[in-house]
Structure 1
């Protein structure tokens, strides 16, 4: 048992290291991805909230100050980058649709874990650098942020990332049956953009939509961790987020296992 776990751990650490080495190999691309893009995204979102407050001629919206919303925009851009996996989702789809998956399914590993480990390795190495942006922004502009809450908030976001990967895995299984499915990824990303709370804080929604959407696992990608750091939500909401994501993982992994088996059966029967 211990030997099997050690082999499993060593294998997945190798996959994660592969993603790290691959991304660090192209230094300019890594620099743009880890620093330039987060700075541009954060700047745009902050300017939008400044414009909203200026147009509204008020210092408070829904009980929160302008500085609170600027802090939310600052941290939401950071967590939203962690909670996305469209790049690896496209790779998974391409592996299946092109037939190169043949070289993976014959190896002693699963397609799911192969890409999950790479995704985690890639996210960790970019998150470490990208984290400098919101911390520096909060310090320079004196924006409210409870940095002691950052570790738990980040842990929740990475836990949610496993759910996102599972959804990507489910979407990729459609490539066994359809030629082009990349548009589904685009539609999914737009859907998540709203449900995660990246576009705006979810507590601005009217009831009963607010309570319902915040209780969904998708809110754990941006709104819950960002709300926890900026003081919009308490620890109870974070715990609820972990429970919600766990339930989602159980349901979606069962669905993913079923769709993978059906897809592999179809693939083996018809060829690449």
Structure 2
């Protein structure tokens, strides 16, 4: 058997395994229809409504139709799409499961299988996000069309691609946090703290181009802007294609750095885990 055929067979096995993990997440979430309905439609609708009302209040209080060179409709469109993308770019549910697996000792059943802990939850996360995104995408599409908000629909696919690519980065952060459970008893509060920080860094709270220099350039250049600000800004015309490309590059660099850190912490965590017992 040639090296090429071995690699091809190994990739086929890897792909089949991870598709099975993704399918597991899809089946699990569709099993509880009410929970899925709330997660895919009700919650994003309420979040979008609240953020739009906040921006309407801001413009009403400012007695102006323009802020930083952008119209009221542009900000309403940003609020609409940012709520949608922010829902994609979070992984608190699977992060909590990963932490629980490590802290409770049930990780034993996973580390003895021919797969990695990282890929097992990444594939499930992607499957879950895909099935919820396909449904919740209806909300911003219909709202943007009905209210005639600034939206370039041809830019949506590339923006979605960047956001899902960024989701791998988010998972890598969750993986690093879960490895801390090898050493500490309670670390679930770190998930809440991380989510609050990401809420600002991604640009969900407000467009990052409103920040003064040099913070504006730093925040936009960071990989976290690829979760909300860059893809949303690209769709509504606040961001150009070059910034999109920069987003892919910054996420790639972030993935390399974070996965190197994650691999080291996982190795050290397992050494500690094996040394002290489950």
TM-score (norm. length: structure 2):
0.98
Counterpart residue number, 2:265: 259
**Structure 1 outlier segments of 4+, above 3 Å:** none
Counterpart residue number, 2:225: 219
Tell me how far 1:155 sits from its aligned partner. 0.2
Distance in 2 (alpha carbons) for counterparts of 1:89 and 1:169: 7
What is the total number of aligned residue pairs between the two structures? 272
Distance in 1 (alpha carbons) for counterparts of 2:169 and 2:96: 16
Counterpart residue number, 1:137: 143
Q: 2:194 aligns with which of 160, 184, 188?
A: 188
* 2:109 is the alignment partner of 1:103: yes
Tell me how far 1:140 sits from its aligned partner. 1.1
* 2:8 is the alignment partner of 1:2: yes
Query: What are the ranges of 5 or more consecutive residues in structure 2 without an aligned counterpart?
Result: 1-6
Counterpart residue number, 2:83: 77
Distance in 1 (alpha carbons) for counterparts of 2:34 and 2:99: 26
Query: What are the ranges of 5 or more consecutive residues in structure 1 without an aligned counterpart?
Result: none
TM-score (norm. length: structure 1):
1.00
- Kindly report which structure 2 residues correspond to 1:87-236, keeping only aligned pairs within 5 A, or say none: 87-236=93-242
* 2:21 is the alignment partner of 1:20: no
Tell me how far 1:79 sits from its aligned partner. 0.2
Tell me how far 1:268 sits from its aligned partner. 0.6
Tell me how far 1:98 sits from its aligned partner. 0.3
